[in-house]
A and B are shown apart, each in its own frame.
Chain A
C-alpha cells in the first residue's frame, strides 16, 4: 500500500455465510476412490500396487520419484480395481489408482503413534514430514518437507489461516474443531525450523474462531526451544481483503516488513504454512496414519445446499455434490462455472466426475458470472489493485506487439495469477488471463 501504488488488494463479497455457520457433513463411505498419480505438475511415480491387490487405509500405493519424494496412500480399505487415465483437476487427463472400498476401514499405520512431541528432534520432524508425504493443503500442494530444506535462519513460523478467497471455509472449520492440533502442529513446525516465534494469522471477522484460538493459545504459552528460549505464540488478526493470504501481503500486514521481490519468505526468516497442513501433520504423528481424509467446502449459488464435507481423499466430486443435495433446480451448466479452489485462483473445471485431491480445499459452482466486455478505459484499476504492483494493462499491450524488452521492464514474470486485476476491471476484461498468457510467452522466450 502506498501513495504511488494504490491499495494493492481488492475487497470482495466473501460469501462465507453459505457454509461457515453449518456443521461439517460427513461422506466417508465412497464405493470407490481414485488417487491421482499426479503431484503439482509431475506425473513421475513408482507404483507399488497392482490391480487385484488388497490395501488398507494408510497403505503406501505410489511414490513420486523425480525431484520430490512424495508418497501416496490409500484412503480406504479394499481392493485395487484399476489403474487408468481419468480427468484431473488440472484439466489434463492423468493416471489414477482406483480402489474399491470394502467398508471395513482397516488401518495400516505408517509408524508408531508419538505420545509426546517434545521427545522429537529437529531432524525427526522433517523426516516424518517426508515419510508421510505431507503437502500444502490450500491449493498448490507443495511438498511440506521441501520447505525445511532451504532453512537457515528462521525466526518466525506463520500459519496462514486467512482463507482470503470468498466462499471457502474449510480451513476455518478445521481450526474450529482442532484448535489443539493446530497449536501442536505449529510447535512441530517451530521445532523443525529452529524458529523462536509462532504466529497464527486469521481473518479478523471470524470472531468465534478468534475466541477459541485465543483461549487455546494460553495453554501453549509455556514451551521452550532446544536452546531453552521461551517460544512466543501469538494469534494475529488481519483484514478481510484479497489476496491477504498471499504470503508477501500477509507478512507485510502481520510482521510489518517487505522483502526483495525476487526472494522467498524463508530468505526473510519466515516460514509460512497453511493451518490445515499443520493440523493434519499433528494428527498424523498422533495416530501414525498418513492423511486420508480432509474437509472440503462445496459452495456457490449453483448448489442446492452448500456444505463443508469431510471426505476421503480421492472421493469422486459428483458423489459428494449429489450427497449434499445436488445442483439447484433448473441448473444449466452453460450458464454456470465449476471451480476447483476459490473464485479468484481456482481453476475452471469442465466436469464434476473428478477425484478430490488432498491439496484442494473447495469446489464451487457459480452461476450468472458472465458480463459484457467493454472497451478499456485505461483507468488504472488493475494497476492499483495488483498485489505485486505490476501493470497488467501495459503488460497486455506489450505482449500484443511482442516487445520483450518492455515486458522485462514491466516485471511480467512476477505475476502471481491472483486474479485481482480482472476482479477490479470495470470493463470486465479478462486482464488476469491476458497477463498470465503474457507471462508464459515471456518465460518461454527469455
Chain B
C-alpha cells in the first residue's frame, strides 16, 4: 500500500487557537455583561442603552469591515454568484476574531463617544491596524489601541472627554486638575466623593464603558490564566511595576498607600493590562521578552500619565511598546534554558531603569 509523505511529528495536541480566541471572547462578554448590569444599577437605563448601542455598533462595524474587505480581496478565487462570494467571507472573517477587537475597543471608549466616532475608530482598528497588515496574526500594533488612539486624536474632545452621560471621570479630574500631584486631603476627599475604593471597584465610576467592571476584569483574568490562554506574568509584572513606581512617588509626595491603589484602579490601566498587554500577536514571544515589555509598558504608561495632557495613557503606551516588540524579540533570542541568572539580572536592570526614568522625568518636569 502506498502512502503520501508527511513530515513528522504525526500527532498534535487538541488545544486550538480557536479555543484560545473563544476563551478570550467569553471573558470579554462576561466583562461586558457585568459592566452593563453595574451601569444599570448605578446610573440607570439611559446610560446602559447608550453603552449597549456603542458596543453593538462596534461589533457590527468590525464584522462588516471584514466582510467587505474579503469581498474585494478574493485572492483570485472565482465565484459563480454573489451569494457564494459572500459565503466565502465567513470563515475568513471568523479567523480574524473581529469581535474580540470590537469588544476591547468598545469597552475602552467613553460612554459619551458619538456613534460616528465609534464607527471610524472600529474601521481603523479592523481595517488599518489588522487587515492591511495581512490579517490576524500579521498585525504589529494592537488593533483596539489603534482604534482608540486614532479615534481619539481625530475626534479629540468628543471621544476622550466625557459628556453629559458620563460626568467627570476620576481620571480626567485628577489628571486635568492636579496632574496626579495629589495631597492626602485632595486625594482622599476625591475618593470619598465616590464612596471609597470598594464602590470604585464595584461600579460607581463614570468613564469608559468597561470601567464599572473592574472586578469582572480580575475574574476574567483568573479565568484566562486557569484556561492557560495568556501569560500571567504580563499583567502581574505590569501592575507590580506600576505599584512600585507610584508607591515610590507617593513617598515623594508624602501621601498614603491609597495613592498607588488609585493609580491601578484609574482609567483603562487594569483593563488594558489584562486584555491589551497580553495580546500575544503584538507582544514578545518569549517570557523574558514579555517581562521586559510589561516593565517598560508600565514606565511609558506612567510617564504619559504624569506628564502629558492626555488622560488615556494605556492605549498610547501599548502602541509605543508595540514598536519595540521586534527589538525585544531580537535581544532575547538566546536559548531560553541558558543562564537564568543573567536573565533575572536583565529584568532587574530594566526594572531599575523604568523606576528611575519615570520618577526622574516626573520630578524634574515638576
- Contact (Cβ within 8 A) A336 B3: yes
B113 at interface by CB-CB < 8 Å: no
- Contact (Cβ within 8 A) B13 A383: no
Q: Which residues A317-373 have CB closer than 8 A to chain B?
A: 318, 327, 333-334, 336-339, 343-352, 364, 366, 369, 371
Q: Report the minimal beta-carbon distance from B40 to chain A, rounded to whole angstroms.
A: 35
Binding-face segment, B66-74, B135-143, B263-271: B135-143
Contact bitstring A9-50, B, C-beta under 8 A = 1, else 0: 010100000000000000000000000000000000000000
Please, which residues of chain A bring their CB within 8 A of the CB of B13? 10, 12, 423-426
With A377-B137, A378-B285 known as contacts, the answer to whether A428 contacts B16 (CB < 8 A) is yes
A418 to B5 Cα, complex, angstroms: 18
Q: Which of A261, A318, A422 contacts B9 (CB 8 A)?
A: A422
A333 to B6 Cα, complex, angstroms: 12
Please, which residues of chain A bring their CB within 8 A of the CB of B4? 333-334, 350
With A12-B13, A428-B12 known as contacts, the answer to whether A380 contacts B286 (CB < 8 A) is yes
A425 to B340 Cα, complex, angstroms: 25
A12 to B337 Cα, complex, angstroms: 22
A133 at interface by CB-CB < 8 Å: no
Q: Report the minimal beta-carbon distance from A327 to chain B, rounded to whole angstroms.
A: 8
B333 at interface by CB-CB < 8 Å: yes
A334 to B4 Cα, complex, angstroms: 7
Please, which residues of chain B bring their CB within 8 A of the CB of A345? 8-9
Please, which residues of chain A bring their CB within 8 A of the CB of B7? 348, 430, 432-433
- Contact (Cβ within 8 A) B11 A391: no
B78 at interface by CB-CB < 8 Å: no
B174 at interface by CB-CB < 8 Å: no
A352 to B19 Cα, complex, angstroms: 37
- Contact (Cβ within 8 A) B343 A4: yes
A380 to B17 Cα, complex, angstroms: 12
- Contact (Cβ within 8 A) B336 A343: no
B329 at interface by CB-CB < 8 Å: yes
Main secondary structure of the interface of A (DSSP, over half): loop
A261 to B9 Cα, complex, angstroms: 23
Number of A-B contacts (CB under 8 A): 169
Q: Report the minimal beta-carbon distance from B168 to chain A, rounded to whole angstroms.
A: 39
Please, which residues of chain A bring their CB within 8 A of the CB of B87? none
Please, which residues of chain B bring their CB within 8 A of the CB of A386? 336
Please, which residues of chain B bring their CB within 8 A of the CB of A71? none
Q: Which of A346, A414, A423 contacts B335 (CB 8 A)?
A: A414
Main secondary structure of the interface of B (DSSP, over half): loop
Please, how many residues of chain A have a CB less than 8 angstroms from a CB on the other chain? 69
With A343-B11, A406-B333, A423-B12 known as contacts, the answer to whether A374 contacts B287 (CB < 8 A) is no
A411 to B11 Cα, complex, angstroms: 25
Q: Which residues A389-425 have CB closer than 8 A to chain B?
A: 389-391, 393-394, 406, 409-411, 414, 417-420, 422-425
Q: Which of A6, A91, A369 contacts B12 (CB 8 A)?
A: A369
Q: Report the minimal beta-carbon distance from A304 to chain B, rounded to whole angstroms.
A: 14
- Contact (Cβ within 8 A) A261 B338: yes
A165 to B340 Cα, complex, angstroms: 29
| Nearest A-chain residue to B21, judged by Cβ | A377
Contact bitstring B1-37, A, C-beta under 8 A = 1, else 0: 1111111111111011111100000000000000000
| Nearest B-chain residue to A15, judged by Cβ | B11
Please, which residues of chain B bring their CB within 8 A of the CB of A10? 13
| Nearest A-chain residue to B289, judged by Cβ | A380
- Contact (Cβ within 8 A) B334 A380: no
A225 at interface by CB-CB < 8 Å: no
Contact bitstring B276-290, A, C-beta under 8 A = 1, else 0: 000011010111101
Q: Report the minimal beta-carbon distance from B153 to chain A, rounded to whole angstroms.
A: 28
Q: Report the minimal beta-carbon distance from A295 to chain B, rounded to whole angstroms.
A: 21
- Contact (Cβ within 8 A) B333 A410: yes
Q: Report the minimal beta-carbon distance from A384 to chain B, rounded to whole angstroms.
A: 8
- Contact (Cβ within 8 A) B338 A389: yes
Please, which residues of chain B bring their CB within 8 A of the CB of A8? 337
- Contact (Cβ within 8 A) B2 A350: yes
A446 to B85 Cα, complex, angstroms: 48
Q: Report the minimal beta-carbon distance from B55 to chain A, rounded to whole angstroms.
A: 25
- Contact (Cβ within 8 A) A378 B287: no
| Nearest B-chain residue to A436, judged by Cβ | B7
A302 to B300 Cα, complex, angstroms: 56
Please, which residues of chain B bring their CB within 8 A of the CB of A351? 1-3
Which of B4, B11, B16: most chain A Cβ within 10 A?
B11
- Contact (Cβ within 8 A) B337 A388: yes
- Contact (Cβ within 8 A) B337 A347: no
- Contact (Cβ within 8 A) A374 B336: no
Q: Report the minimal beta-carbon distance from A387 to chain B, rounded to whole angstroms.
A: 9
| Nearest A-chain residue to B7, judged by Cβ | A433
A4 to B336 Cα, complex, angstroms: 6
- Contact (Cβ within 8 A) A6 B287: yes
A78 at interface by CB-CB < 8 Å: no
Other A-B contacts than A2-B340, A391-B285, A426-B13, 8 sampled, CB-CB below 8 A, are: A336-B3, A337-B10, A366-B11, A377-B280, A393-B285, A423-B9, A423-B13, A433-B7
Q: Which residues of chain B have a CB within 8 Å of any CB of chain A?
A: 1-13, 15-20, 95, 135-138, 231, 280-281, 283, 285-288, 290, 329-330, 333-338, 340, 343-344
Nearest 4 Cβ contacts at the A-B interface: A389-B337, A419-B9, A375-B137, A433-B7
Mind listing 23 A-B residue pairs with CB under 8 Å?
A4-B286, A4-B340, A5-B340, A6-B287, A333-B1, A336-B3, A344-B11, A347-B8, A348-B5, A350-B2, A369-B12, A374-B95, A378-B137, A379-B17, A380-B286, A383-B285, A388-B335, A389-B336, A390-B335, A410-B333, A414-B335, A423-B12, A426-B13
